[in-house]
Structure 1
Amino acid sequence: MSHQTGIHANEELKKYFAKSRNGNVRVIKVSIKNEELTLDGHHSVKNNWENDYDQSVLPLIEDDQPCYILYRLDSKVDKNYEWLFISWSPDTAPIRQKMLYASTKATLKQEFGSAQVKEDLHGTVKSEITLNGYIKYKKNAIAPAPLTSREEELQEIKKSEVHTDYNVDSKQQTLGGVSFPITASAKSAVEDMLNGLYDYLQFKIDMENEKIDISFMGKVTIEELPTKVPTDSARYHLFNFKHNHLGSCIETMVFIYSMPGYTCPIRERMLYSSCKNPLINTICSLGLNIEKKIEIDSGAELTASYLYDEVHPTKTSNLPKFAKPKGPPNRGPKRMTKPQQK
């Protein structure tokens, strides 16, 4: 999964960023709303930056909701004020929210102006982003080498990791993705498929409850399979592809991840991409052997010939022989050397 979300500042926020250059703005709160970076609060300069800090920053913080805080310091570089960039990502916030904010941080810094950001401060509890927490951070910090945008995103996501034991009923976040638990009905459907009751299962993510549930199960032919793929939302599919190969009747379990382009909301695309591999691991842990994994944009791609070619790719055995390049022109005849006489 790419960690860029495609979320950008709306016009109101861009205009306020321009206004904040006059030196009268002390703090700006930015939140992600309706898939946009949005102005969510601000305070003016009253005293010096140390006296303003706690009374300006802390009232803008919500216990369970991530946000960004841009805090104007009193120091300047090239006549422009320097700013502290605070990433607030509480441990109690939903995993998908923390991932979304971590992945959008680089975009916000770029739109505000990376050259004006003096330092970054990440907090998961309020004590880390108070004035005392910031001063402690400065004392303990050793200036690191500059990070690329990609490295910053990975660093923020790693800071938000939740470490738990992995099993069917667990939910965890790691650098490689998010694992939502599957429901009891989804688990039962996989076990029934293992016993031959179904040859097709379809899974969906319950966004509200952060779980993966079964959305369809049944007997489906290869001709009917394309009609089961939604055109406006992502899905996971398990299909027992029954076909003939070299004179034998073969059954191949295929995992299909369908994502209909950019018709899906950004959050849905990100979550389906992140949950894919953990779901595959969960299904395999239940005893179902997935032999082929494919990704599609549309159900129209799922023809019998397409699946056959995916399951049995053509092997090229007659590779072209290496052609020795010709030597340089006019190089003259080969010279013969006489053996040394003893």
Structure 2
Amino acid sequence: MQANSASGMAVNDECKTKFLELKAKRNYRFIVFKIEENLQQIVVEKVGAPKDSYEKLCSSLPSDECRYAVYDFDFTTDENCQKSKIFFIAWSPDTSRVRSKMLYASSKDRFRRELDGVQVELQATDPSEMSFDIVKERAF
């Protein structure tokens, strides 16, 4: 576990393990990560089963607290090719605490770099900014 120089946040080893399982084995559709302030580390809060929908991920994000999430998006191109892209979502609702927003913002870049294989990044402060249409648009 390494501490994040900007915010002092460490990344729990399970974060990387679960991410590698999502990327290589496709064991999960999504992973939600949470900063445990008292532990000074980023931990896995929830994982989504391979058949879970994008809506299930969205409903897993609290309406008044920040989170990070990764989502494995499957889609078919115009040429009829099956593709997949891994999204990193920085969820920072307007209603969350200022301290929390600052903590998530200062830890984000370092944490995202730990997750090797993320292809698209989304930042959202309300659900409309991470709608499924936006995900589809950003995948192409």
Q: Does TM, scored on the shorter chain, surpass 0.5?
A: yes
Counterpart CA distance in 2 for 1:4 and 1:38 is 17
Q: TM-score, normalised by structure 2?
A: 0.78
Q: What does 1:326-341 correspond to in 2, within 5 Å?
A: none
RMSD, matched Cα = 2.4
Shift of 1:106: 1.1
Q: 2:126 — aligned with what?
A: 125
What percent identity do the matched residue pairs reach?
Answer: 29
Q: 2:12 — aligned with what?
A: 10
Q: 1:109 — aligned with what?
A: 112
Q: Which portions of structure 1, spanning 4 or more consecutive aligned residues, are displaced by more than 6 angstroms?
A: none
- Whether 1:68 aligns to 2:73 is no
Q: TM-score, normalised by structure 1?
A: 0.34
Q: What is the aligned length?
A: 125
3-state SS of the aligned residue for 1:24?
A: coil
Structure 1, gaps ≥5 residues long:
76-80, 140-342
- Whether 1:46 aligns to 2:84 is no
Relative distance call for 1:60 and 1:73 in structure 2 (3 A) is same
Relative distance call for 1:135 and 1:12 in structure 2 (3 A) is closer
Structure 2, gaps ≥5 residues long:
76-83
Shift of 1:14: 2.8
Counterpart CA distance in 2 for 1:9 and 1:16 is 12
Shift of 1:133: 4.0
Q: 2:79 — aligned with what?
A: none
Counterpart CA distance in 1 for 2:135 and 2:25 is 25
* Contact 1:27-1:43 at 8 Å conserved across structures: yes
Q: Highest Rg: 1 or 2?
A: 1
Counterpart CA distance in 2 for 1:128 and 1:61 is 13
Q: Using CA pairs under 8 Å that are at least 6 residues apart, name the structure with larger relative contact order, 1 or 2.
A: 2
Deviations 1:25-77 (A, max 9, x none): 11000010021010000112217xxxx222x31121101100011001237xx
Deviations 1:266-300 (A, max 9, x none): xxxxxxxxxxxxxxxxxxxxxxxxxxxxxxxxxxx
